[in-house]
Amino acid sequence: MNTDQAIRELPKAELHIHLLGSIRPRTLLHILEEESIESPLRNDDEYDRLFQYRDFAHFISVYGQVIDNIPQEKYFEQIAYEMLEDCAKSNTRYVEFSFSAPDHVKRGLDYGNMLDHINRGVRKAKSDHGIESNIRIDLVRNYGLDSARETLSWIKEKSENVISIDIGGSEHTFPPEPYAEIYREAKEMGLHLVAHAGEAAGPESVWGAIEALKVERVGHAVSAAQDLRLLERIKRDRIGIEACPVSNVRTGAVQSLQEHPIREFYDMGLLVTVNSDDPTFFHTDLDNEYLQLHEHLGFTLSDLLRLSLNAVDASFLLDSTKERLRSSFKETGEKIIDSAR
């Protein structure tokens, strides 16, 4: 077995993947046609051209264009199912995916109806592919505190498979600290706490997420590498880092894979994981993420298995389920590594 095949066969878990950022191009084109939506996206070439980002702000703008093209709740069943089916192709066995509900409610869709359709897709993917998943609701920091409070109220009313909250969006404009009270309330509701931080802003954003929001995991955390004291705090408190290397290169958060701090995070013994973020938008998946780490940052197969085990450890699964999954990953992974020697 060669290294590429071994990487494909390694068991994996994904903790940072956005539902809409996983939509298959053909599915979006089908929706546009079915709904008679006027759009410059008429074929795959135009789709690819749209996803050539100048910077993080441009990426956010493109993301908004895609949101505008999902006009009915029913489409989320197919989007969720296909996202998980694609994850399963990378031998991903567990997924925590992010759903930015406010984006769609503000465009006239119903939260509860969308969640029902998403969970239909989740159940079908589990039945067809054996893949387990849970949902993270992104409060979307751009809409402000009132919107975030309203989103929490939706979760109180309907929360099937919803396991955590997050704040994505324009991090450099909307710092984490004002959301402290909302995060306290979410914790009281039994939700786990995550925040995008250190992707488009400096280490102060990561500090804010840790100290004000009391997060258990940080999405991206690229700029944390600039602050050794911050890294020591992350290590001490076993705060998970959801690294997204290919995404960070594509949005300009780092200039190249060789400059990505995931190697430093890993070598320091941080609870770092690797994730695909928006697979469609960044032309990636977990197989590719692992392969890039191997080729550009010297991650061995044993290192990559450790990243998979980190993802299990950092997940929000019950301890008993983690133990079972971890044991399975370790046994399978070690056999694959032995076969590749």
Those residues with Cβ within 8 angstroms of residue 117's Cβ, 6 or more apart along the chain or in another chain: 73, 74, 75, 76, 77, 80
**Are the C-beta atoms of 263 and 224 separated by less than 8 Å?**
no
Q: Considering 96, 199, 242, 289, which one is annotated as catalytic? A: 199
* 220 Ramachandran zone, left/alpha/beta (phi>0; psi -120 to 50): left
Per DSSP, helices labelled H in the chain are: 3-9, 25-34, 44-50, 56-67, 75-89, 101-105, 111-129, 144-157, 180-188, 203-211, 228-236, 245-250, 262-267, 279-282, 286-297, 301-314, 319-340
As a whole number of angstroms, the distance between CA 80 and CA 82 comes to 6
SS (H, E, C) 170-230: CCCCCCCHHHHHHHHHHHHCCCEEEEEECCCCCHHHHHHHHHCCCCCEEEECHHHHHCHHH
Across the strands, what pairs with 228? none
**Are the C-beta atoms of 112 and 157 separated by less than 8 Å?**
yes
Alpha-carbon separation of residue 62 from 65, 72, 78, 219, 251 (angstroms): 5, 20, 21, 20, 12
**Are the C-beta atoms of 174 and 145 separated by less than 8 Å?**
no
Across the strands, what pairs with 18? 98
Q: Would residue 295 show up in a list of annotated catalytic residues for this protein?
A: no
Alpha-carbon separation of residue 32 from 27, 37, 106 (angstroms): 9, 5, 19
Q: Catalytic residue numbers?
A: 199
